[in-house]
Chain A
Amino acid sequence: MARLLYLICIFLPLLSGTAILIFRFRSARALKILTVACICAASAAAFAVLSADIRETVVFLPFSRTLSIVFRLDGAGRFFLGIVAALWPMTALYACSYMDGSSHLPLFFGFFCISYGITAGIALAGNLFTMYVFYELLTLSTVPLVIHPLTRDAIRAAKIYFVYCMGGAALGFASMLFLLSNGAGGMFVPGGTLSSHPYGTDITCLFYLLGFLGFGVKAAIFPLYAWLPEVSVAPTPVTALLHAVAVVKAGAFAVMRLTYNSYGTALLSGTWAQYTVMMLSAFTIFFGASRAVKAIHFKRRLVYSTVANLSYILFAFSLMTPAGQQAGLLHMAAHACTKILAFFCAGAVLHFNGLTMIGELEGIGKKMPVTFACFTCAALSLTGIPPFTGFVSKWHILTAAAGLGSVYAYIGTAFLLAGALLSAVYMFTVVLHAWFPGSGFSGLSVEHVREADWRMLLPMILLAAGTLLCGVFSGPIVSAAAAAAGM
């Protein structure tokens, strides 16, 4: 049963995506319905796995004694799978509206399905090798989505994306080899597979750092973040789902696996490697937020905000305590929900009204009330205003950092709060522009603006309610994260 459900989660979208690519549908309507149906079915399977609390280990393909494709779901994996399974169907619906009027739909929807299966694979991966394979496949399957508009910018962005991800993969590969040759087959176990430093502390730290940077490429750690702003040329569903949730969160998730389940926090905490990664992510928080404040392009501003927020997660993970892991997982969920919502709103503005710059949004809230009410929720949550979900996760990160008590943690919290303050600046300038245009505003500039259609509004409203309700009734989520972190 477990085997079947696992396989449905992964291979149903994979195969249906491939089928979409092969049998090229003439009818856009049939194509969209098929895509949404497949994704919903896979999500249903995922939720069945989650609700039945299946934790079986399934060896899918044994290659050798140490190398095999193994699926297993533990607490952290459940968290990631839950995020992916909840958000993908909504994005699918959103994409149906967003992709109206663009060509080559089979290509888009095909790879869209395939990347779902692969992301589910990352969540379900039971050992390092499996995760690495799916991680690489994710890069490959998302390049076509970035390249989809086939403009010059898109091709350039795809190139940069590809080069960065491959570079990161090479670094991660080095780290993986180290673990495979010294750990017990690279299975993910709480506390890690390394029992001691095989070649001294420095070598372990060096390889951990290589791995952190390698997987950190996808999590947009400074200085390896430059691909993320570039790929914002992709269609908004892709930017929203992949480059605010699936791909980047896969990077953060991989870092978490590396830290907590492979190297083990016992070996790493207190080493120079830990302090390096803490400071790197703390700096990225500040850096991303300051770039976002300076950005005047709507989507780019959100992208830089993603850069900053991913480092919140990495910072929490780099604390290397159970509380840190819990906080990181929480922020992963909170940020996923919030940022995808913000991107949906930006996409709705872009798709229906062709507006891309923040200066053009003056007074638009009166014409797109639902969209901007949702965006306001996203802004509140991202800034960390109670009772929205962003507040809960930020609170946990802060208390986890204060609980560590080291100087580096306090420096990190200072950066974190500065980042939160800047996020208030960059989000609320948009919100205030949209709602309160000021006295010189005549309404002429937004005369032809129209509200998005239901296929966009429904996911947005659901997500906005989600950011609020997950914040207010956050008890179960917090305890699930605590359980995942072994607290």
Chain B
Amino acid sequence: MILFLILFPFCMAPVCLLASRKSTAARNLTACAACLAEFAAAVLLASAPDLSFSLPGICGLGLTFLSDGFRKIYCLVIAFAWLMTTVFGSEYFSHYSNCGRYYFFNLMTLGATMGVFLSSSLTTALVFFEIMSFTSYTWVIQDETEEATRAANTYLAVAVIGGMVALMGLFLLQSELGTTEITLLYERAAQSGNLPLLYAAGGCILFGFGAKAGMFPLHIWLPKAHPVAPAPASALLSGILTKSGVFGVIAITCNLFFSDQKWGTMIVLFGTVTMVLGAVLALFSVNLKRTLACSSVSQIGFILIGIGMTAVLGPEGSMAASGALLHMLNHSLFKLVLFLSAGAVYMNTHKLDLNEIRGYGRRKPLLKAVFLTGALGIGGFPLFSGYVSKTLLHESISEHAAALAASGQSALLFRTVEWLFLISGGMTVAYMTKLFVALFVEKNRDPAVQARYDADTRPMRPASAAALLIPAVLIPLFGCVPSVFMGRIASAGTGFFRVEPLHHAVHYFSWTCLKGSLVSILIGAGLYFGFIRTCLIRRNAETGTREYVNLWPARLDLEEVLYRPLILRWIPSVLGAVSAFFGENRVSGRLAGILFLAFQRLASWFGTNRITGPVAGKLFSASERLAAWFGTNRITGPAAKTIARSSEIGTHAFSDSLDAFVFLLRRTVYRDAPPPATDEVSTSSAYRLGALRDRTVSALGGQTGPETDYATLYYRMKVTENRVRSKLTGNLSFGLIMFCIAAVAVFLYVLILDRI
């Protein structure tokens, strides 16, 4: 069953590619059928008891899979999201080129993502994680515009570097603990106790998976990649693929570092920075999909806080764990709805700038309702599902802060986190209001465009509308009766976080819980009216209309300021310096020259028996012993000279014998080869032979033409030879040869003398 879930999409991918060769309808049908079958399988898996399954020997490490509560839930979510986006995609892609490629890699990514979420060991997760990163690359670059290429390269760079670093962490873990099975990590780590190494390994893995999740400071790919990818792909990238990174973070935080205060606090801090930063970026953005992407960064921050709190609280972290899990799930749903709505806008207008698409949504009740549901959900309004998860997260922080204060410890940190949490929630409300107002309330600055937008009363086909509506309906449904759906999901999934399900029912609609949400909403309203409407909307001097402006300073782009120069300029220049310094030419010039000289000196030391004591440390004492072993006294001055001379002759012999071989070739099998270039003649022996031939020819009364004038050739040859020789003598290998031949000669000399 598990294997089917993973392999089936991989098998269907080529089928879909073939179908897309045939016709668009066939392609859509195949893809939808594949996703539907996958969804059915996921439902079956979810209703079946827990399974575990392993494939030893595959990929050298063996793959292990497991389906427990958390994994089953996420498989369902994945299959559902894929089904919806594929249905929506059949309309969205109707005017696209290169669609076969998109669908092929779309299904591959589905299989790989299933693999990540069903894996029970970190290595298995990494295997599928890497596949997923590479196949989803094609989503980002689908349009092949300059912007898309740039974003895709960023995406790939982050994925590859993240993958490598995670791999490093994994092998450290494997060698320290002997396993990467997620459930075994905690016990093994407790036995091992080598904390510095475990922190190093955990840090590497966090880097790798955090990069995919969009954790600060590795969030850079998200705001670039999501806007350029096609909308269905953006929905999946944001809703599902980032969660695979979160999966890895949970695996180490709640298993390897379960109830580790330091680690948990670190994750909470990373989460807080990510949450605030994403929200601020989203507030400033004037691009519909970019806002949503930045919002994803922010929401991942919320989830990370929940995960970090689980680790901080240890066994008492049920509430934080449920909150994190539910917020993951909610965020998948919201982003599915919101990105598909954005796709509906883009599909009709081919624009994403808020000023251009302003007023598009007026008189489109369905789109408006769906978008509003998503916005209310993500803003955490009561009766919508986002409220439930945010409340749980908020409660867990405030309870911990209260507990700390009660026990007399400083609760400043967690109080700050709590307030930042509420403020970020407020910012979420503010930027979602900004989007909603721009799209559905205000009128476009150009009345003609607005008229055209208003005339377009049927923005999408029924199938696409259904794909939007179904996930949108789930949001209030989950939110209105939280204990029925959300409670069950939470209690099924928290096992993965190593905590017990919530014992007591949470009174979601009690005043304490509602307070947090209301504070956020008030902050949001304040921000919207006090900041967005006053600062971020300016009157355009030329047209006289009010426009959204992007006031975010471009200098603060971490990618442009730090990463790109680091990777594209600084590291290559270091590499260039390394390779230039150690490369052939320099080695020949300096390093090898020195080495060669050293070898020569060494040889002369051998000869004159000058090494008498521990002159220069170990090397010399070793060579001294070597010399003693050879019989130092026997090798005297003349012998050294002979050796040097013979090695010189030897080198010439190498060169000559090769020339002779070339000559032989030319005379025999290569007789029809083009005549050699004149300056290819090399050694003096060739000159002597040639000169002899010249003289013979002139003695016999013949003419020597310029081609056979060996005196000139010898001159030219000398020039070439000098060049070659400088190359050769400067070369380390030449030095080595001299040394070896000397060594071999010494061997023979000693052997013979010993025998006599």
Contact = CB atoms under 8 A, between A and B. Distances in A.
A386 B149 CA distance: 24
Contact of B57 (A380, A384, A476): A476
A402 interface: yes
Nearest to B146: A439
Contacts of B591: 223
B670 A170 contact: no
A286 B732 CA distance: 20
A437 B510 CA distance: 58
Given A163-B654, A224-B736, A398 B60 contact: no
Interface in B52-77: 56-62
B29 to A, nearest CB: 25
Contact of A206 (B130, B145, B622): B622
A290 B741 contact: no
A224 B733 contact: yes
Interface stretch (B84-92, B306-314, B571-579): B571-579
Nearest to A225: B584
A272 B670 CA distance: 50
Interface residues on B, range: 35 or more
A71 B469 CA distance: 74
Contacts of B152: 436
B658 A174 contact: no
B556 interface: no
Interface in A439-487: 439-440, 471-476, 478-479
Interface in B606-644: 618, 621-622, 625-626, 629
Interface string A158-184: 110011101110110110010000000
Contacts of B25: none
A148 to B, nearest CB: 9
A63 interface: no
Given A106-B669, A203-B629, A385 B744 contact: no
Contacts of B618: 202, 272
B59 A471 contact: yes
Interface in B499-558: none
Contacts of A428: 156, 160
B673 to A, nearest CB: 5
Given A174-B744, A290-B578, A439-B144, A472 B164 contact: no
Interface in B200-244: none
B743 interface: yes
B269 interface: no
Contacts of B592: 223
B582 interface: yes
A475 B144 contact: no
B336 to A, nearest CB: 27
B713 interface: no
A287 to B, nearest CB: 6
Interface string A190-217: 0000000001101101100010011001
A478 B584 contact: no
B145 A170 contact: no
Interface string A103-120: 110110000000000000
A417 interface: yes
B691 interface: no
A93 B677 CA distance: 34
A294 B153 contact: no
B356 to A, nearest CB: 21
Contact of B171 (A164, A386, A398): A398
Nearest to A422: B575
B58 A472 contact: yes
Interface string A306-344: 000000000000000000000000100000000000000
B696 interface: no
A286 B575 CA distance: 9
Contact of B579 (A143, A290, A385): A290
Interface in A11-47: 24
Interface residues of A, number: 85
A408 to B, nearest CB: 15
B134 interface: yes
B135 to A, nearest CB: 11
A147 interface: yes
A48 interface: no
A177 B748 CA distance: 10
B669 A202 contact: no
B161 A392 contact: no
B141 A436 contact: yes
A104 B732 CA distance: 35
A440 B145 CA distance: 9
A222 B592 CA distance: 12
B130 A385 contact: yes
A392 to B, nearest CB: 3
B175 A402 contact: yes
Contacts of A50: none
Contacts of B163: 385
Nearest to A223: B732
Interface string B165-176: 101100110111
Contacts of B130: 385-386, 391
A166 B576 contact: no
A158 B658 CA distance: 8
Nearest to A413: B168
B707 interface: no
Nearest to B655: A159
B736 A387 contact: no
Interface string A91-109: 0000000000001101100
Given A163-B655, A174-B747, 8 more contacts: A162-B654, A203-B629, A224-B736, A286-B578, A386-B128, A422-B575, A438-B144, A439-B149
* A-B residue pairs, 6 tightest by C-beta: A475-B57, A170-B740, A392-B60, A402-B175, A386-B127, A290-B575
Interface of A: 24, 103-104, 106-107, 143-144, 147, 150, 152, 155, 158-159, 162-164, 166-168, 170-171, 173-174, 177, 199-200, 202-203, 205-206, 210, 213-214, 217, 222-224, 226-227, 229, 272, 286-287, 290-291, 293-294, 330, 380, 383-387, 391-396, 398-399, 402-403, 413, 417, 420-422, 424, 428, 432, 436-440, 471-476, 478-479
Interface of B: 56-62, 126-128, 130-131, 134, 141, 144-146, 149, 152-153, 156, 160-161, 163-165, 167-168, 171-172, 174-176, 572, 575-576, 578-579, 582-584, 587, 591-592, 618, 621-622, 625-626, 629, 651, 654-655, 658, 661-662, 665, 669-670, 672-673, 677, 680, 728, 731-734, 736-737, 740-741, 743-744, 747
9 contacts: A163-B733, A171-B736, A171-B740, A202-B618, A203-B625, A226-B733, A395-B171, A399-B175, A478-B60
